[in-house]
Amino acid sequence: MRRMKTTVFSALIVLLTLPLGGAAQQGSAAQPASTSAPRGATANDPRAELVKRLPGSKIEDFRPSPLPGVYEYARGADILYVSADGKFALAGDMYDIANETNLSEKRRREARLALIAKVPENQMVIFGPREAKHTVTVFTDVDCGYCRKLHSEIARYNQLGIRVRYLFYPREGPDSESWDKAIAVWCSANRNEAMTRAKKGEKIGNPKCASNPVAKDYELGQDVGLRGTPAIITASGELLPGYVSPDMLIKRLEEKS
């Protein structure tokens, strides 16, 4: 079974229905909410109330939305809108009608790029030259059928000027066969060759190494908002779920650039 974090939306809907300070345990008195301002907030900062109502949130997670009286709450690439008093939440996209712009998607793209920028390229498996015209980041599962199809055409992507940076996202989660294969690819002497062989279903042994990025990549994928693999993230932060052929991808990248 796929192991996913509870989405920020479902978790917040539960939290927002609780009395401030959380629900009291049965048979015990409710504890009064703290009246001190959260770290990073002044006493009269309206975000302080939101931080108190949403355990685990930080002051920097909130910023005013274009809609008066509503704050944007961002956790990774998940975006939620919360009333200033913390009593109401809206799950959905916000649009600037005059400019025909999806403001929520714009913020998601910014968040995705910020998250991926934290991963140095020496923690990726990269196919294609550094000076390629386009670079995409692909979350991949060694055993995923469409991930294998994408990789079978890696030479064509590179030929069209698309550099592919792989991050690992074994969909079945830790302790799965795909997870172990991802680690084996990373720990191989030649990661690119091992990736290609693993994608073909070949045995690559069980090499060991001191550390690997699989767990971090997996958590990053959940923060980015993945729902499956392959998942292609472009240089603009756009998330393309699923397989996209080389010719279709270059067309999309050229249109956007």
Q: Is the pLDDT of residue 191 over 50?
A: yes
Q: Which pLDDT score, from 0 to 100, does residue 31 have?
A: 37
User: Which whole number is the average pLDDT over 149-158?
Assistant: 98
73 and 134 co-located in one domain: no
Distance from C-alpha of 205 to C-alpha of 233, rounded to nearest angstrom: 30
Assess if residue 197 is contained within a domain: yes
* Tens digit of each residue's pLDDT (9 = 90 or more) over 106-129: 999 999 999 999 999 999 999 999
User: Which whole number is the average pLDDT over 167-187?
Assistant: 96
The more confident residue out of 61 and 184 is 184
Distance from C-alpha of 100 to C-alpha of 88, rounded to nearest angstrom: 26
- For residues 58 and 40, is the Cβ–Cβ distance under 8 A? yes
Catalytic, out of 61, 78, 141, 217: 141
Distance from C-alpha of 207 to C-alpha of 188, rounded to nearest angstrom: 6
Decide if 209 is catalytic: no
**Cα–Cα distance list, 79 to 61, 114, 133, 157, 164 (Å):** 10, 15, 31, 32, 27
Residue 209: what residue type? C
Assess if residue 131 is contained within a domain: yes
Quote the strand ranges of the chain, DSSP E.
62-64, 70-75, 78-83, 89-90, 95-96, 101-102, 125-127, 134-140, 162-168, 231-233, 239-241
Q: Which residues of 119-156 are buried (b: 16+ CB within 10 A; e: fewer)?
A: beeeebbbbbeeebebbbbbbbbbbbeebbebbebbee
**Residue 213: which of 123, 106, 152, 135 has the closest Cα?**
123
Assess if residue 98 is contained within a domain: no
Assess if residue 2 is contained within a domain: no
| 3 state SS for 39-105 | CCCCCCCCHHHHHHHCCCCCHHHEEECCCCCEEEEEECCEEEEEECCCCCEECCCCEECCCCEEHHH
Catalytic, out of 53, 144, 163, 165: 144
187 and 60 co-located in one domain: no
Residue 254 CA, chain-centre distance (Å), reads 24
Distance from C-alpha of 242 to C-alpha of 144, rounded to nearest angstrom: 10
Q: Which pLDDT score, from 0 to 100, does residue 33 have?
A: 39
Q: Which pLDDT score, from 0 to 100, does residue 42 have?
A: 56
Residue 238: what residue type? E
76 and 120 co-located in one domain: no
Q: What is the CATH number of the domain that holds 22?
A: 3.10.450
Tell how strand 62-64 and strand 70-75 pair up.
antiparallel
Q: Which two tokens stand for residue 101?
A: 């712009």
Question: CB count, 10 Å around CB of 23?
Answer: 11
Assess if residue 71 is contained within a domain: yes
Structural domain tally of the chain? 2
Decide if 130 is catalytic: no
Assess if residue 105 is contained within a domain: no
130 and 234 co-located in one domain: yes
74 and 156 co-located in one domain: no
Q: Which pLDDT score, from 0 to 100, does residue 43 have?
A: 56
Catalytic, out of 47, 61, 78, 147: 147
122 and 206 co-located in one domain: yes
Assess if residue 104 is contained within a domain: no
Catalytic, out of 78, 165, 171, 217: 171
pLDDT > 70 in the chain, percent: 82
Q: Which pLDDT score, from 0 to 100, does residue 39 have?
A: 53
Q: Which pLDDT score, from 0 to 100, does residue 152 have?
A: 98
Q: Is the pLDDT of residue 23 over 70?
A: no
Q: Which pLDDT score, from 0 to 100, does residue 49 have?
A: 81
Q: Is the pLDDT of residue 18 over 90?
A: no
Q: Which pLDDT score, from 0 to 100, does residue 37 have?
A: 46
134 and 53 co-located in one domain: no
Decide if 175 is catalytic: no
Q: Which pLDDT score, from 0 to 100, does residue 132 have?
A: 94
51 and 165 co-located in one domain: no
* Tens digit of each residue's pLDDT (9 = 90 or more) over 41-64: 555 777 888 888 888 888 888 999
81 and 187 co-located in one domain: no
198 and 231 co-located in one domain: yes
Assess if residue 194 is contained within a domain: yes
148 and 239 co-located in one domain: yes
Q: Which two tokens stand for residue 95?
A: 């649009």
60 and 146 co-located in one domain: no
71: containing domain: 8-92
Please, which pLDDT band fits residue 85 given cuts at 50, 70 and 90?
A: confident
Decide if 147 is catalytic: yes
